[in-house]
Amino acid sequence: MSGAAFTVDVDLGLSRYPITIGAGLIGDADVFRALVPGVDLLVVTNTTVGPLYLEPLRAALPGRRVAECVLPDGEEHKTQATLGAVFDVLVSQRFNRDAVLLALGGGVIGDIAGFAAACYQRGIGFVQVPTTLLAQVDSSVGGKTGVNHPGGKNLIGAFHQPLAVIADTATLSTLPDRELRAGLAEVIKYGFICDPVFLEWLDENLANLLARDPAALTHAIARSCEIKAGVVAGDERERGRRAILNFGHTFGHAIEAATGFTSYLHGEAVAIGMVVAADLSHRLGLIDASGAQRVKDMLARAQLPTAAPRIGAKRTAELMAMDKKVLGGSVRLVLLEGFGKAVVSGRYDARALEATLAEHFG
Amino acid sequence: MSGAAFTVDVDLGLSRYPITIGAGLIGDADVFRALVPGVDLLVVTNTTVGPLYLEPLRAALPGRRVAECVLPDGEEHKTQATLGAVFDVLVSQRFNRDAVLLALGGGVIGDIAGFAAACYQRGIGFVQVPTTLLAQVDSSVGGKTGVNHPGGKNLIGAFHQPLAVIADTATLSTLPDRELRAGLAEVIKYGFICDPVFLEWLDENLANLLARDPAALTHAIARSCEIKAGVVAGDERERGRRAILNFGHTFGHAIEAATGFTSYLHGEAVAIGMVVAADLSHRLGLIDASGAQRVKDMLARAQLPTAAPRIGAKRTAELMAMDKKVLGGSVRLVLLEGFGKAVVSGRYDARALEATLAEHFG
């Protein structure tokens, strides 16, 4: 292994797994021997990531039977049909319950491959090998898997924890700038929801992160994983506090759905959603105007979009009502009650929400 | 409620639910008020069962918002496409995480509806309302859900326990004779694998069961559920002993797959599979010839098929290798080591298996 690797442990009681973070992990046979069991492996990847990393990954898996499933790239392919294509490969390879799936790619690949592993033969093991910043700090950790439905994002899925997460920070060197910034949106989110000290560090290191300074990226990823692992460990099935991880996401999902999942990267939509949620928090009197402004400024400095598309307040409200965070008819929202402190609430002034939607979505 | 109801408790540690068995339960608002939570309900049924029981079921659900999804009848419709149709209804109704699904029908409906509940929004509650003997004694209990893949039966699925099972024995009056007998195959299976006393009772009461004597049926269903609940409680995810419930199933699944899931009812294929498994147990020296003959005779007396179709020994072996019970390359089989005692084994003389396949499948 070239350079130091950090390990963050996710402890969910019944299941426990390591997140290993370091430069050059893909291609390191020792790492994969230690963390990936089984002989029959299926690597699920896409047409962008596969050509870059399938060969070094294969080299790290000597003595295994390694099949490949290369999917088209993009959120628009996170569908039941694509999921079916993964099942078809597993069946055609005659893979059984002891097979292990490797998700090599970003969040879309991780979600599809993880859900395929959850369902194939009622559950086989899988390992996340995230290659985007977003996947390394968010989607590969916590066991949420699934695909989209034409009626909404992630409506079909399962909770299925990986056996391990292997995050190779060297893959970020090939990541387009726009995707790096989209990943930073989730990193900054962790600061907003529960870590003022991390927020200060981010404030000082934003330029280094945008310049892809390896040490800064490694720290940001490890701290993000620690925060997420801690929140998930307390509430794996999102019955309560885990929902704070959805800060900005209810508005963000509505933006993604209204624009067909193609105009905005997930992190970009979440960035806008966080600006909207901060504004609502201010309108509800939870934070002052300067707090909401700091949220917006920090995201703008990370070169993320902060202005919502004019998709209409009514349409936005409808899409939010379809979101999974609705319980018994009222939309639960994640709000800020401080700069570095989020709360989940289903009780708030509906007029403040209406005014916020009108202001941002038109 | 007309007549007495029996309740069998399934206790899986993390989840616990009741199986309520009695005549006239569908239509009993008290039963459904007590056992089915939620306001938004989706009843999944098929074109055969729906016209018979949807109306009385609706009458037992006053004050709820009850949507329907009526699927085509038959194992050939237990597909990813049909599953997608259930998701479409859930989304079009804008149902959220607090919605509850009711599976009104036989094993196919229970498996599809249960799997839809497992995946929708990463898991909602569901209640089994089984209307066939097979579903009442087997598929509605234990939390196995899923759909078929062209490459094999139940290859795509999840473990998802119901909130309750409500088994109305009055529905058996409309069950075709052939389906009643197919259900009896699973009832008799429970005797074969672990209950010599129940086997004796069955031996004396086979004629009463075939004549649909209500008291005999109720006892057979309750005892079957007790046995299955006990086995499942010890091994929910089928890591070990639960596999004894698959007695006859590895051969049975191969028969169903080779004949396109249309020639044999599941219970019929299992009956043949049990005859084959008993013969193999004899060839391996686990039971004597008279024990294997008693298995065959009892199934024949229940008017079940006992002769396998000539699908070919090689094809059968291939289909068995695709079965989920393969671990690390060797097919684990459920064998008898007594009349009323089954064991799971991956170690046996391969030549005895070959000879058995040649004898029965040609």
B88 and B147 housed in the same domain: yes
A181-195, A254-268, B1-15, B248-262: which is most confident: A181-195
Q: Residue A135 maps to which CATH number?
A: 3.40.50.1970
Q: Are residues A149 and A186 in the same domain?
A: no
Are B220 and B108 part of one and the same domain? no
Residues B311 and B343 placed together within one structural domain of the fold: yes
**Domain final residue pick, B174, B192, B211:** B174
Query: What does the pLDDT read at residue B330?
Result: 67
Same domain, residue pair A32 and A116: yes
pLDDT for residue B289: 96
Q: What is the DSSP string of B274-342?
A: HHHHHHHHHHTTSS-HHHHHHHHHHHHHTT---S-----HHHHHHHHHHSTTEETTEE-EEEEEETTEE
Residue B237 lies in a domain: yes
Decide: helix, strand or coil at residue A299. Answer: helix
**Structure-block tokens of residue A117:** 């592993």
A3-38 residue pLDDT tens: 568 899 888 877 889 999 999 999 999 999 999 999
Structure tokens at B5: 């109801």
Q: Are residues B247 and B236 in the same domain?
A: yes
The minimum CA-CA distance between B228 and chain A, rounded to whole Å, is 19
Q: Let me know whether B270 and B314 are in one domain.
A: yes
- For the question of residue B144 being annotated catalytic, the response is yes
For chain B, what percent of residues have pLDDT higher than 70? Answer: 97
The predicted structure's pLDDT at residue A143? 93
Q: Is 90 exceeded by the pLDDT of residue B327?
A: no
Closest by CA to A150, choosing from A282, A319, A276, is A319
Residue B198 parent element (H or E): helix B196-210
Residue B151 lies in a domain: yes
- Domain membership of residue B99 (yes or no) is yes
Output the domain CATH number for residue B320. 1.20.1090.10
Asked if the model's pLDDT at residue A259 lies above 70, the reply is yes
Which has more confidence, A323 or A192?
A192
Cβ of A64 under 8 Å from any chain B Cβ?
Answer: no
What's the confidence (pLDDT) of residue A152? 83
* Active-site entry in A181, A189, A219, A228: A228
B14 min Cα distance to partner chain A (Å): 11
Please check whether residues B128 and B14 belong to one and the same domain: yes
Q: State whether A195 and A130 are in the same domain.
A: no
Is residue A294 within a helix (H) or strand (E), and if so which, with residue range?
A: helix A289-301
Q: Note if B149 is an active site residue.
A: no
pLDDT confidence tier of residue B326, bands split at 50, 70 and 90: low
pLDDT value, residue B2 = 44
pLDDT tens, position by position, A116-174: 999 999 999 999 999 999 999 999 998 999 999 998 889 999 999 999 999 999 999 99
What residues make up the domain containing A79?
A: 6-174
Which of B15, B122, B235, B319 to mutate to probe the A interface, most A CBs <10 Å?
Answer: B122
Q: What average pLDDT score do residues B272-279 get?
A: 98
B205 is catalytic: no
Whether A15 has its CB under 8 Å from any CB of chain B: the answer is no
pLDDT in tens, A49-101: 999 999 999 999 999 999 999 999 988 899 999 999 999 999 999 999 999 99
In a domain, B277, yes or no: yes
pLDDT band at A235 (very low <50, low <70, confident <90, very high): confident
Reply yes or no on whether B282 is catalytic: no
A1 in a structural domain: no
Residue B204 pLDDT grade (very low, low, confident, very high; cuts 50, 70, 90): very high
Instruction: Based on the fold, state whether residues A357 and A257 are members of the same structural domain.
Output: yes
Residue A2 is predicted with a pLDDT of 44
Average pLDDT on A294-313 reads 97
Residue B1 is assigned to a structural domain of this protein: no
Q: Tell me the chain A residues in contact with residue B91 when contact means C-beta distances shorter than 8 Å.
A: 149-152, 155, 322
Minimum-distance CB partner of A96 among B96, B149, B326: B326
- Does residue A47 register a pLDDT over 50? yes
Query: What is the model's pLDDT at position A276?
Result: 98
Q: How many domains does chain A have?
A: 2
- pLDDT of amino acid A228: 94
SS (H, E, C) A164-176: EEEEEHHHHHHCC
Query: Which pLDDT score is estimated for B13?
Result: 77
Higher pLDDT, B345 or B117: B117
Say whether residue A81 is in contact with chain B using an 8 A CB cutoff: no
Average pLDDT over residues B165-172: 96
Both B205 and B153 in a single domain?
A: no
For residues A75 and A208, state if they share a domain: no
Residue identified by tokens 């799936």 is A101
Which of B153, B174, B195 is the endpoint of a domain? Answer: B174
Residue A47 falls within a domain, yes or no?
yes
Residue-wise pLDDT for B33-77, tens only, equals 999 999 999 999 999 999 999 999 999 999 999 999 999 998 889
In this predicted structure, what is the pLDDT of residue A329?
A: 58
The active-site residue, picked from B153, B181, B223, B253, is B253
Instruction: Indicate the residue of B88, B122, B157 with minimum beta-carbon distance to A159.
Output: B122
pLDDT tens-digit profile of B11-31? 887 788 999 999 999 999 999
What was the ipTM of the complex prediction?
A: 0.87
Q: For A313-344, how does the pLDDT look when each residue is reduced to its tens digit (9 = 90+)?
A: 999 999 888 765 454 556 889 999 998 999 99
Mean pLDDT for the stretch of residues B237-263: 89
C-alpha distance from residue B102 to each of A336, B40, B69, B140 (Å): 39, 11, 10, 12
Asked if A328 reaches chain B (Cβ–Cβ under 8 Å), the answer is yes
**Domain for residue B115, yes or no?**
yes
B116, B148, B174 - which closes a domain: B174
What pLDDT, on a 0 to 100 scale, did the predictor assign at position A239?
Answer: 80
